[in-house]
Structure 1
């Protein structure tokens, strides 16, 4: 699920939690909205973490280049 899907899930959950007055027997729509909002937020955090690792190439701290030079005096 990409960023758009996570934001859409969060928005759908917010609509169900705050903007509806639907009552179904046995289902608490406000709780379903909160659960969808939590799932969208968790997905967004996970996606951004994975995207950050991909941008760094999976090599955190391995971008440092060390150059070693040796000088010899002639005979």
Structure 2
């Protein structure tokens, strides 16, 4: 969840730097810095989503004996 929030924050900061601020850094324009922050935020957001979806897998165990069938479904514990 932290990567998703971090990606959103980087996207917002990048958009502010790109479209609303004029920062004078030697060798780097404010538009370029904003674009770098927005791309980094988008990548971090997507990685966070992929990690969240990967951790939501369900484990199913099935056992069968003659005349009996047992099925167990477990969701993994939530990560902090």
TM-score (norm 2): 0.65
How far residue 11 of structure 1 moved from its aligned partner, in angstroms, is 0.6
Unpaired runs of at least 5, structure 1: 71-75
RMSD value, Cα: 2.3
Aligned residues: 66
Highest Rg: 1 or 2? 1
- The equivalences for 1:3-22 within 5 A come to 3-22=4-23
Tell me the TM-score normalised to structure 1 length.
0.69
5+ long unaligned stretches in structure 2: 68-80
> Could you list the runs of 4 or more consecutive aligned residues of structure 1 that deviate by over 3 angstroms after TM superposition?
67-70
Q: In structure 2, how many angstroms separate the alpha carbons of the residues matched to 1:10 and 1:22? A: 17
Deviates more, 1:20-29 or 1:47-56: 20-29
Question: Larger relative contact order (C-alpha < 8 A, sep ≥ 6)?
Answer: 1
3-state SS of paired residue (2:39):
helix
